[in-house]
Amino acid sequence: MRRRVLLRAGLALALLGGLVAAPAAAAGPDEVIVTVPGPREGGASGDGTIVDAQLRWGLNAETGGGAFAGGCNFLSAGVAGDAGGARVWNEGDGLYRSEDGRVRIEKPTADGGWTTASWATKCLDANGSAVSVASTASTSGNQVVIDGGTGARRDGSVEILWSGSFTVVFYGGMTYWSVTDPRLTLDASGTGQLVGTASGYGTSMDDMTTWNPIAPQTIVLADIRAADLSAAGGFVVTPQYLGVLSVGSGQIARSGSNEAHWGAFPQSFLDFHRLTGQQGYWLTTGGVRDAAKPASPLTVSYSSSAPILTPVPAPAGASAAGTPDNPLRRAPAALAAAAPLSQMLPVSTPLTTQPQAAGLVPEARQTLSALVLPLLGSAAALGAAIIAVLSMMRAFPWQRRSTPV
């Protein structure tokens, strides 16, 4: 018996990309009813259109940490205007914004929630205390949140584009850069990248009058591996940093002392910061703030109206497994005979020296004090005099004649 397959009008539209499938009718004895589901939207599992996704990310703990000058590092919504030079921002400048369109900056609260940041709270942790440069566990935990992402899920892969900008501000405004229109692309295995258009200004601690606009360029903000895309509402993933090797960026070698936090942000990210002067803040350099540099978890929700649970960074002093801590170093009471040079430096001496084309802000200076130079000159003169006397006495081995036998 020949069986007939009936494709009703609604089903045909679904096959052609329509959004609604026709309801199935009762099947006759010789009929097979085929039901074709239409694309799904929002946070539904499976393939479908994404119309209002949310991106949430704090980059790393250093982006909300204390700074050696300018108070702290922080995030601002939108592309910050031209400050006219490397200087600390003032509230009246109008450079800082907590919200800009569909972009906002949020901070964790003491009760485990989130609140919109402000100029007054940008340098405070969840407990309301000022962040401290003395500990890498001290951070405001601020994150950029961008709603309205559009894209699709196809065959397990994900692609989402957000429209909007945010600015990463270090040293209270002495150095800053911006990201515009981030785009996430992940394959079915959860591997891919978050890219964006970066811009900003380049400066140098050696010449703070240097202020060079940087042309916008596309960079990789985050390399992502094995993100779990199986959940209906979204996912949380920590971008690659730990164990990542950079090239030509001043990264120190991996060792037992830095194994827990050794790594780097993506190479194009570091190459861009060769222009801003911030390169040393995004990889392991051997400095006292290295433990605050690894990438923070990144959260993507397929619907901003139903965001998934976001981990809240633990405030300084709180007990949290895996929270890096690097307290202020104190000079030891006594030094061993073979003590390393780092123990003989003053507590305030920067331990990071980051060579790069544009000066890092701040750089570790290697200048000699006014006392050292005269001492070196005197030592050289004394050495030359000793060599002259020994030469007149013919005391050098090559000046001695062998005695005839």
Task: Say if 340 falls within a structural domain.
Answer: no
Q: How many CA atoms lie within 13 A of 186 on its CB side?
A: 27
Q: What would the two tokens of residue 317 be? A: 């002093």
Report the range out of 24-33, 71-80, 340-349, 370-379 with the highest average pLDDT. 71-80
Query: Is 44 a member of any domain?
Result: no
Q: Nearest to residue 98, comparing CAs of 73, 66, 121, 72?
A: 121
Top pLDDT among 343 and 383 is at 383
pLDDT of residue 152: 97
**DSSP reduced 3-state for 294:** coil
Are residues 183 and 255 located together in one domain of the fold?
yes
Under DSSP, the state recorded for 362 is S
Residue where a domain terminates, one of 301, 324, 340: 301
- Choose the final residue of a domain: 301, 335, 361: 301
User: Which residue carries 């000159």 as its tokens?
Assistant: 377
* Residue 82 sits in the same domain as residue 13: no
Residue written as tokens 């295995």? Answer: 189
In a domain, 134, yes or no: yes
Does 59 lie in the same domain as 17? no
* Same domain for 127 and 84: yes
Confidence band, pLDDT 50/70/90 cuts, at residue 48? very high
Choose from 202-206, 273-277, 349-353 the range with maximum mean pLDDT.
273-277
Within a domain: 243: yes
287 within some domain: yes
Answer yes or no: is 372 within a domain: no
Which alpha helices (DSSP H) does 201-288 contain, by range? 267-276
pLDDT of residue 120: 98
Percent of the chain with pLDDT over 90: 62
* Statement: residue 391 has pLDDT above 80: no
Does pTM surpass 0.75? no
Is residue 297 reached through a cis peptide bond, with omega within 30 degrees of 0 on the bond before it? no
Burial of 365 (0-12, 13-18, 19+ CB in 10 A): exposed
CA-wise closest residue to 314 among 127, 35, 78, 60:
127
Q: Do 123 and 251 share a domain, yes or no?
A: yes
Q: Which helix (H) or strand (E) holds 168?
A: strand 165-170
The tokens describing 361, both together, are 């802000």
pLDDT of residue 382: 67
Banded pLDDT at 270 (limits 50, 70, 90): very high
Q: Above pLDDT 70, what percent of the chain?
A: 65
- Residue 43: Cβ-neighbour burial (10 angstroms; 0-12, 13-18, 19+): buried
Q: Quick one: 186 and 245 in the same domain?
A: yes
Q: Answer yes or no: is 315 within a domain.
A: no
Quickly state the pLDDT bin for 11 (edges 50, 70, 90).
very low
Report if residue 123 sits inside a domain: yes
Q: How confident is the model at residue 221 (pLDDT cuts 50, 70, 90)?
A: very high
24 with 150, same domain?
A: no
Tell me the mean pLDDT in the region 74-81: 98
Confidence grade of residue 334 (pLDDT, cut at 50, 70, 90): very low
pLDDT in tens, 246-255: 999 999 999 9
Q: Which of 180, 251, 273, 186 is CA-nearest to residue 223? A: 186
Do 8 and 141 lie in a common domain? no
Residues with Cβ within 8 Å of residue 112, at least 6 apart in sequence: 312
pLDDT band at 386 (very low <50, low <70, confident <90, very high): low
pLDDT, one tens digit per residue, over 87-123 is: 999 999 999 999 999 999 999 999 999 999 999 999 9
The domain tally of the chain equals 2
Task: Compute the chain's Rg from CA coordinates.
Answer: 30
pLDDT band, residue 46 (cuts 50/70/90): low
Q: Which domain holds residue 58?
A: 49-301
- Residues 55 and 9 placed together within one structural domain of the fold: no
- The predicted pLDDT at position 306 comes to 95
> How would residue 204 be classed by pLDDT, with cut points 50, 70 and 90?
confident
pLDDT(365) > 60: no
- Are 73 and 211 members of one domain? yes
Q: Do 26 and 163 lie in a common domain?
A: no
Which 8-state DSSP code applies to residue 343? Answer: G
pLDDT tens for each residue of 140-195: 999 999 999 999 999 999 999 999 999 999 999 999 999 999 999 999 999 999 99
- Answer whether residue 14 shows pLDDT above 60: no
Q: Is the pLDDT of residue 279 over 70?
A: yes
Contact present, 182 and 59 (Cβ < 8 Å): no
Residue 171 CA, distance from chain mean position: 15
Average pLDDT value for the chain: 78
Q: Are residue 17 and residue 122 in the same domain, yes or no?
A: no
Boundary-marking domain end, from 285, 301, 317: 301
